[in-house]
């Protein structure tokens, strides 16, 4: 079956975070939203059918997650990434960010140091700082938009007594799929300095252009025993509104702690539609995902070529994973605020501004490319026209 990613679906008026709060967020209703990480594509038929099938039963009472549910997660991870997870080591979370916060609360004490690698998905900051833990930054190295880890700085910081590292793998917003060599170096340091790794692998199914996802915990027993891995079908299959994610913990002590905190806060129940959607996605989703990835590659190539041809000097980072393009606008010589203002007011485009992702984010914008090609085309033309107006003769 061929899926249609070109179809434009009207999402305004559906109480969508992406479309229905543009006025308060951007001061303007009439902008193309290319900000929050949710896709404009229809959910695959087999997921919608599973939800409808469940909805047709008239009782929506408290629901369990049968072993079959965890097996669908383990099966997916084994097929997609070659990591064999024991279904018994899979726990629930109503979202990946909630799992990050639960882990901060469950595994660290107020005042403990938690390391991140900016520029990074900004809820990493709040999930640490809102709970009285100390944020330590190991800033990524930006070589003209190509990113790598600063291992010397990482080791120095680990040596200073880091309790936990919040690892973005693949990395939002810089689009890196970390390589085996990078993961091995990171794992060796975490083991040497006794650091717990919270590996946010929510984007792990969205690997592009021949890149591969290597789950950190799949590297070996020693690193697995200090890793909490977060995964979800929410980005992959566009199910964020169903709030259903999974946490994989191999170490029994860590696992018990996670389960205790989940129980203490009473959020382990989940929702029945999320469960049937996850199971349908992870059981039947391979072919749909392959087509999605091809489409995303096409969108990224289209956007990058458009910018290279029409907006010389604007630099698009290579996209190894995620559907979030990371774009540098330094050449324009604008302050970050003025850049965003121009995008919203003149180009009619809503992006996420780079500085929100912390140190290293200045002069960048993050653009969500998970939208029909015609919408991408419209957005890029609007950008070009705004630039031509603002900088006559330059573009
Ligand atoms: C790295 C990363 N983690 C977590 C999330 C959100 O997770 P959830 O909606 O499951 O809380 C996102 C969403 O963009 C993300 O990019």
**Does the beta carbon of 121 sit less than 6 angstroms from any atom of ligand 1?**
yes
Q: Backbone dihedral region of 14: left (phi > 0), alpha (psi from -120 to 50 degrees) or beta? A: alpha
Task: Write down the pLDDT at residue 165.
Answer: 98
**Does the beta carbon of 200 sit less than 6 angstroms from any atom of ligand 1?**
yes
Partnered with residue 32 across adjacent β-strands are: 349
**Does the beta carbon of 172 sit less than 6 angstroms from any atom of ligand 1?**
yes
CA 311–ligand 1 middle distance (angstroms): 31
Task: Write down the pLDDT at residue 188.
Answer: 98
What are the tokens at 157? 């910081």
**Does the beta carbon of 37 sit less than 6 angstroms from any atom of ligand 1?**
yes
CA angle 77, 276, 121 (to 5 degrees): 55
Contacts 24+ apart (CB under 8 A), 59-68: 60/272, 62/269, 63/269, 63/270, 63/271, 63/272, 63/275, 65/92, 65/270, 65/275, 68/279
CA distances to 108, 197, 233, 251, 358 from 225, rounded to whole Å, are 16, 10, 24, 5, 30
Task: Write down the pLDDT at residue 383.
Answer: 98
If one looks up domain 17-44+286-388 in CATH, what number appears? 3.90.1150.10
CA 202–ligand 1 middle distance (angstroms): 6
Specify whether the CB–CB gap between 368 and 34 falls below 8 A.
yes
**Does the beta carbon of 202 sit less than 6 angstroms from any atom of ligand 1?**
yes
CA 96–ligand 1 middle distance (angstroms): 6
Q: What is the pTM of this model?
A: 0.98
pLDDT in tens, the chain (395 residues): 899 999 999 999 999 999 999 999 999 999 999 999 999 999 999 999 999 999 999 999 999 999 999 999 999 999 999 999 999 999 999 999 999 999 999 999 999 999 999 999 999 999 999 999 999 999 999 999 999 999 999 999 999 999 999 999 999 999 999 999 999 999 999 999 999 999 999 999 999 999 999 999 999 999 999 999 999 999 999 999 999 999 999 999 999 999 999 999 999 999 999 999 999 999 999 999 999 999 999 999 999 999 999 999 999 999 999 999 999 999 999 999 999 999 999 999 999 999 999 999 999 999 999 999 999 999 999 999 999 999 998 88
Residue of 118, 120, 121 with the most ligand 1 atoms within 8 Å of its CB, for mutation: 121
Specify whether the CB–CB gap between 343 and 35 falls below 8 A.
no
The 8-class DSSP code of residue 207 comes to: B
The C-alpha atoms of residue 138 and residue 386 are separated, in whole angstroms, by: 36
Task: Write down the pLDDT at residue 145.
Answer: 98
Domain made up of 47-284: CATH architecture:
3-Layer(aba) Sandwich (3.40)
Structural domain boundaries of the chain?
Answer: 17-44+286-388, 47-284
SS3 264: helix
CA 97–ligand 1 middle distance (angstroms): 6
**Does the beta carbon of 102 sit less than 6 angstroms from any atom of ligand 1?**
no
CA 125–ligand 1 middle distance (angstroms): 13
The C-alpha atoms of residue 152 and residue 77 are separated, in whole angstroms, by: 32
Q: Which of ligand 1's atoms lies nearest the C-alpha of 168?
A: 1
Task: Write down the pLDDT at residue 202.
Answer: 98
């Amino acid at each position: 079956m061929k899926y249609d990613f070109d179809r434009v679906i009207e999402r305004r008026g559906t109480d969508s975070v992406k479309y229905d709060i543009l006025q308060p967020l951007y001061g303007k209703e009439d902008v193309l939203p290319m900000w929050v990480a949710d896709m404009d594509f229809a959910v695959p038929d087999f997921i919608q059918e599973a939800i409808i099938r469940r909805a047709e039963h008239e009782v929506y009472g408290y629901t369990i997650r049968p072993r079959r549910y965890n097996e669908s997660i383990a099966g997916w991870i084994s097929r997609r990434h070659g990591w064999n997870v024991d279904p018994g080591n899979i726990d629930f979370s109503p979202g990946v960010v909630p799992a990050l916060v639960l882990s901060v609360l469950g595994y660290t004490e107020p005042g403990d140091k938690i390391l991140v690698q900016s520029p990074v998905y900004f809820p990493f900051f709040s999930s640490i700082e809102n709970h009285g833990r100390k944020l330590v930054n190991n800033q990524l190295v930006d070589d003209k938009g190509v990113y790598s880890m600063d291992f010397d700085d990482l080791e120095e910081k680990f040596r200073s007594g880091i309790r936990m590292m919040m690892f973005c793998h693949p990395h939002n917003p810089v689009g890196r799929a970390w390589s085996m060599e990078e993961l091995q170096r990171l794992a060796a340091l975490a083991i040497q300095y006794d650091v717990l790794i919270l590996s946010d692998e929510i984007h792990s199914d969205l690997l592009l252009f021949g890149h591969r996802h290597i789950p950190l915990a799949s590297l070996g027993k020693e690193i697995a025993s200090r890793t909490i891995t977060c995964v979800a079908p929410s980005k992959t299959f566009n199910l964020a509104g169903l709030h259903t994610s999974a946490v994989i913990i191999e170490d029994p002590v860590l696992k018990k702690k996670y389960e205790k905190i989940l129980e203490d806060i009473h959020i382990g129940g989940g929702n029945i539609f999320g469960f049937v959607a996850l199971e349908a996605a992870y059981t039947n989703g391979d072919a749909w995902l392959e087509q999605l990835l091809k489409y995303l590659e096409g969108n990224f190539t289209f956007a990058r070529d458009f910018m290279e041809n029409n907006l010389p000097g604007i630099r698009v980072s290579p996209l190894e994973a995620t559907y979030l393009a990371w774009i540098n606008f330094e050449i324009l010589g604008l302050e970050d605020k003025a850049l965003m203002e121009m995008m919203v007011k003149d180009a009619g485009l809503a992006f996420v501004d780079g500085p929100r992702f912390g140190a290293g984010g200045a002069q960048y914008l993050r653009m969500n490319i998970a939208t029909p090609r015609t919408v991408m085309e419209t957005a890029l033309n609007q950008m070009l026209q705004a630039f031509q107006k603002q900088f006559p003769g330059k573009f």
